[in-house]
A and B are shown apart, each in its own frame.
Chain A
Amino acid sequence: MNLLIHHFWELTITGLTIGAIYALVALGYTLVYGVLRLINFAHSEVFMYGSFAAVWVLMALNAAGATGLGLVGFLLLGGIAAMAASALVAFILELVAYRPLRKRNSPPLIALISAIGASFVLSEAMGLRDKPFAWLGLDAKLADYVGRPRENTPLPALLHSQKLFNFFGYNVTNVDVIILVSAIIMMVVLDQFVRRSRLGRGIRAVAMDAESAALMGVNHNRVIRLTFVIGGIMAGGAAMLYLLKIGVTRYNAGFILGIKAFTAAVLGGIGNLRGALLGGFVLGVAENYGSALVGSQWKDVVAFVLLIVILLFRPTGLLGESLGKARA
């Protein structure tokens, strides 16, 4: 209790940084749920592939040891690589795992099983990535990329954490600031895109009533594809920020994070963009308070008890409103 009071701001800020990452991933769940009424359980793998893309690109560019502007450039490049890879994986996922089912009007449960299956396939493919290279005899040459495939793979360029300013006794670091600022920029851009752009209007129209939207000339399939790609870009951004904070990734890195992000989406009101953001931040902070109060091994328990309590009083989540009903 003492710890929570004396280090309230430190716990809040570090909680907000991990919460920002949850929120970015949660956007992917909530967007897809909004237009398809489907929980895309493979979204956690979309995130994981993005993190590997960033690591590999920085490895290939020999980014280790870069400083100053060079480092900034490398990190931006890593972020772009992560977003591109995640968007690509999300795009392929929609094409392979969902569209064929949708064409045949399968019930939603089938799509859910397809999502779980896709999640396994993607994560195991990453966990077994050394095998195909071993068959080709390239595994020794590419050991940095594919060696020890089930273990932590570190991000080569290390951003040294530096104290920037003192905030109520907590020394806010450059890593905290970068994560929070870039996450908020991405969220604002997405929010404005969905609210103001033509494509965003399409997304909202499909979310509100897919059939009427189709009658009004909205291309249903294109909107769905776009939704997956946007979710992927957000997950890619989250992956880069995750690497800055945690420093390593591995084949199952998406699993727990995916569950947390999904929780954040439900907490805020699934299908609601601003809800996902709020849910992510609340969850991240609650976890930190929980671990300060009762021990770090209980932080998930605290977070999920909070989820249940909130859902008891607000069954549709904190903000509750769906994507389709969001005011323009």
Chain B
Amino acid sequence: MSLHKTYTKQFILLLILVVILFFLNISFGSVSIPFKDIFAVFIGDETIKESWQTIILNFRLPKAITAMLVGSGLSISGLLMQTLFRNPLAGPFVLGISSGASLGVALLILGTSFFGSFTFLTYTNWSIAIASSLGSFLVLSAVIFAANKVRNTMSILIIGLMFGSFTAAIISVLSYFSEAQQIQQYVFWSFGSLGNLSWDELSIFILIYLLGFAGVFAIIKPLNSFLLGEKYAKSLGINIKQSRIIILVITSLLTGVITAFSGPIAFIGLAVPHIAKLIFTTSNHKILIPATAITGAIVLLICDIIAQVPTSEYTLPINAITSLFGAPVVIWLLIRKKKLYV
């Protein structure tokens, strides 16, 4: 929209940061690998220690890519929700997607106490991913169905929150009747995890991610018009209901696949769009969408580096780091700038 400002400088700086963090992320871990050896492995140098090659190519590279996808995907979903609901507190999980996913996984892991004979599945990445996707899909279908019935966009927000409480209650009941070991397994899933993805799983992840990401660019125009409110958007020729459904479907696709493979990762979707809005000081989605995506990738790469606790053998749960690290950042931004925008 704007002609006057160019954002090239910010974009270049952030892209450089992504590249640096990407290599830092790969270099850190329980075994520290120097940069030059990482490059050597990437260009196919066979003289590097074989164990390092395996670590880099089969563990750390997929994990770094996952971190970038999760970070950017959740952030974009958050941006879409904030614009759709014109509420700076909205995030990707307001639609009950994470609660749906949690319910699916809870039924798989905790449900054995109830339906023991039915759980022939073992807890592989795939079965958890499927349970989680099914859960998000069911809850999301319910929310979209409700969204079609109600006129007011704010009602959708509340309906999403209600679904969240409802599923949380079911999970509580399930936990109450479960064995300690199963509860532990569930809790571990809810910590979130960026690793453990094989290249096969990652390629499915990337495929769905790209599908959602392409969709985002198709709705730049309705997103910008939503900045004036729904009545103005309609008077500008936007089909409100259709745009709303497209936004919901894209968000659910992105957050659904992310939650399925990495667990419910909190906070990123809410906070990163605000960081991007503060850096770029614009509300134009043509700028904000790529800006939010890059910022999200950066933030999650950083969080993952912290979670590795460099130079130690511990790995902290990513879900705790995102909030530990993110909450103070947003509080600081708010105190400094005093205002959050849609």
A and B co-occur in one complex: no
